[in-house]
Amino acid sequence: MMFDNMEEDTFEVKIRRESSESYHNVVFTSANYRVIVCRDNIQWIIQLRRGKSGVKQRWIPLKYCTTKNALIREWHSLIGQFHPMLDKLPERIGGNS
């Protein structure tokens, strides 16, 4: 865990475990799937939520992508539909275009 903005009684907790419900670098969530940026900022990861509701749930990795085209392709193969947040991503992870 990392702590940012440490002030008197308030602080922000950043969870670095990618499988955590509270992971700090989530791009978007759709039902039981989500896309995150890995902790090293080198790839996007498509994850699936596992576990029963009310019990400790975790996110398991399904696909790893470094390009927007690959992420769109893999997302569509798993979900069967497009997500509008995919359009807002750069062509490559860590890229500006």
Residue ranges covered by each domain of the chain: 18-85
Q: Report, as an integer, the average pLDDT of 66-82.
A: 96
Alpha carbon distance 6, 13 (integer Å) = 10
Determine the distance from the C-alpha atom of residue 73 to the mean position of all C-alpha atoms in its chain, rounded to a whole number: 16
The values of phi and psi at residue 38, to 5°, are -60, 160
pTM, 2 dp: 0.79
Q: Report, as an integer, the average pLDDT of 60-68.
A: 98
CA–CA distance from 83 to each of 27, 30, 46 (Å)? 11, 8, 13
Mean predicted lDDT score pLDDT of the chain: 84
Query: Which of 11-25, 51-65, 80-94 has the highest average model confidence (pLDDT)?
Result: 80-94
